[in-house]
């Protein structure tokens, strides 16, 4: 039992060692984007409206905490439509799906809701437009990512070709170099993509494409914000999941700025205290699919180890909002 301040003991109690100071610089903006908020709300509203279970094809957004929270409310996550039974609603994730998926849902007479981010759908429409114009479409993106699978699945096989880096851009063979267009994944590194596009433009001077790229506002803003905190930081924590493309890019952006201790952390329990040993200034950000509650959890854990001061630099203001599918809106219920 600890001695009370009024208890006379032979030995004076040794004082707690003072906590080492740590300055946390919180990136702004960070965390949830409008597409992720919309996707999560679609699942929540569907659960309210139709009752559990509601099926979701693929993780609605790439974050275990979000997925588990929705599972607790009655969502069931599956990878393929074939795992969805009849007579239950199914939701497609924010990353988008190949055209074959809604087509199969229609064939099976399944009721589906599409939570594809409108900014991903915009890229799908660009791909279709280029195809209609007779162009070969080059998609700049990462092989195997669900968004890339979904975007490639908007066109017939062989109509689109994937380029992942400058080397592939330098070597890609296109039958008619005057009939080619490019589109991009929405969550790429802005800096890497500029170089890939430059390589494509060198090789195909008449290539069509968006003015800059299709990288979304949220990805761009979060990369700018992590640059601001990584400059001068001894380490950077990116709160996010290993399968989250935009979170991985934030780690890379921080590392490219010379911050070798840039790390992806999913939960406070994953913090590597040894790595933080010599850190005096720590940047913290979160990928577009990571909820703020996880940032708060990590700060709370740091508070137990350090005497923390928090800096909140200014950043880009975001006021993007995407409408829900009409069938889930309150107005639809009222009518
Ligand atoms: S990261 Fe961008 S494209 Fe992806 S869901 Fe968010 S807003 Fe949409």
- Strands 54-57 vs 160-163: parallel, antiparallel or unpaired: unpaired
Q: Where are the beta strands (DSSP E) in 197-297?
A: 235-239, 262-265, 281-286
DSSP-assigned beta bridge partners for residue 92: 57, 114
More confidently predicted of 258 and 334: 258
Tell me the three state secondary structure of residue 287: coil
Residue 49 has pLDDT above 90, yes or no: yes
pLDDT value for 212: 86
Is 331 an active-site residue? no
Residue 241 has pLDDT above 90, yes or no: yes
| Rounded Cα gap, residues 304 and 149, in angstroms | 43
State the distance between the two ends of the chain, measured CA to CA, in whole angstroms. Answer: 66
pLDDT value for 334: 65
| Rounded Cα gap, residues 322 and 171, in angstroms | 39
Ligand 1: which of 30, 32, 34 to mutate, judged by most atoms within 8 Å of the beta carbon?
34
- CB-CB contact of 186 with 147 (8 Å): yes
Q: Which of 1-15, 65-79, 276-290, 319-333 has the lowest mean pLDDT?
A: 1-15
pLDDT value for 6: 39
The average pLDDT across 104-114 equals 98
Ligand 1 pocket check for 218: Cβ under 6 Å: yes
Is the domain defined by 20-32+217-311 classed in CATH 3.40.1010.20? yes
Domain with CATH 3.40.50.11270 in the chain: 34-117+321-329
| Rounded Cα gap, residues 252 and 259, in angstroms | 9
| Rounded Cα gap, residues 310 and 229, in angstroms | 12
Residue 104 has pLDDT above 80, yes or no: yes
DSSP-assigned beta bridge partners for residue 180: 136
Residue 1 has pLDDT above 60, yes or no: no
Q: Under CATH, which number does the domain 119-203 receive?
A: 3.40.1010.20
* Residues 160-204 pLDDT 10s: 999 999 999 999 999 999 999 999 999 999 999 999 999 999 999
CATH class label, 34-117+321-329? alpha beta
When the pLDDT of each residue in the chain is averaged and rounded to a whole number, the result is 94
pLDDT value for 121: 98
The average pLDDT across 320-324 equals 98
Q: Where are the beta strands (DSSP E) in the chain?
A: 20-26, 54-57, 75-78, 90-92, 112-114, 136-140, 160-163, 180-184, 235-239, 262-265, 281-286, 306-311
Q: Closest ligand 1 atom to the C-alpha of 288?
A: 1
Q: Say which of 147, 170, 195, 213 is annotated catalytic.
A: 147
pLDDT band at 13 (very low <50, low <70, confident <90, very high): low
Ligand 1 pocket check for 123: Cβ under 6 Å: no
Domain with CATH 3.40.1010.20 in the chain: 20-32+217-311, 119-203
Ligand 1 pocket check for 187: Cβ under 6 Å: yes
Instruction: Indicate which residue's Cα is closest to atom 7 of ligand 1.
Output: 35
B/e letters for 21-53, b = 16+ CB within 10 Å, e = fewer, are: ebbbbbbbbbbbbbbbbbbbebbbbbbeeeeeb
The average pLDDT across 8-36 equals 84
Residue 115 has pLDDT above 70, yes or no: yes
Ligand 1 pocket check for 219: Cβ under 6 Å: yes
pLDDT band at 8 (very low <50, low <70, confident <90, very high): very low
């Amino acid at each position: 039992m600890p001695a009370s301040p009024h208890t006379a003991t032979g030995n004076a109690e040794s004082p707690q060692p003072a906590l080492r100071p740590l300055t946390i610089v919180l990136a702004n903006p960070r965390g949830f984007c409008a597409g992720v908020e919309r996707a999560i709300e679609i699942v929540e509203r569907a659960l309210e409206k139709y009752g559990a279970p509601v099926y979701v094809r693929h993780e609605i957004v790439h974050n275990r905490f979000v997925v588990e929270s929705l599972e607790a409310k009655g969502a069931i996550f599956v990878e393929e439509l074939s795992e969805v039974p009849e007579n239950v609603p199914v939701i497609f994730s924010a990353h988008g799906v190949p055209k074959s998926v809604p087509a199969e849902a229609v064939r099976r007479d399944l009721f589906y809701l599409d939570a594809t981010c409108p900014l991903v759908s915009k890229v799908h429409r660009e791909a279709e437009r280029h195809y209609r114009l007779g162009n070969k479409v080059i998609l700049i993106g990462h092989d195997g990512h669900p968004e890339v699978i979904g975007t490639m699945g908007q066109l017939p096989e062989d109509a689109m070709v994937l380029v992942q880096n400058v080397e592939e851009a330098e070597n890609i063979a296109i039958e008619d170099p005057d009939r080619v267009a490019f589109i991009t994944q929405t969550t790429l590194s802005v800096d890497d993509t500029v170089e890939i596009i430059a390589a494509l433009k060198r090789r195909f001077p008449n290539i069509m494409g968006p003015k800059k790229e299709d990288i979304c506002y949220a990805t761009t803003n979060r990369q700018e914000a992590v640059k601001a905190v990584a400059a001068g930081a001894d380490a950077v924590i990116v709160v996010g999941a290993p399968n989250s493309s935009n979170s991985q890019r934030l780690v890379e952006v921080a590392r490219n700025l010379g911050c070798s201790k840039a790390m992806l952390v999913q939960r406070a329990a994953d913090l590597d205290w040894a790595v933080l040993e010599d850190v005096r200034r720590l940047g913290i950000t979160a990928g577009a699919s990571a909820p703020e509650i996880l940032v708060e959890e990590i700060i709370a854990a740091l508070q137990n180890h350090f005497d923390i001061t928090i800096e909140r630099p200014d950043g880009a203001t975001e006021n993007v909002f995407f409408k829900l599918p009409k069938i889930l809106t309150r107005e639809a219920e009222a009518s």
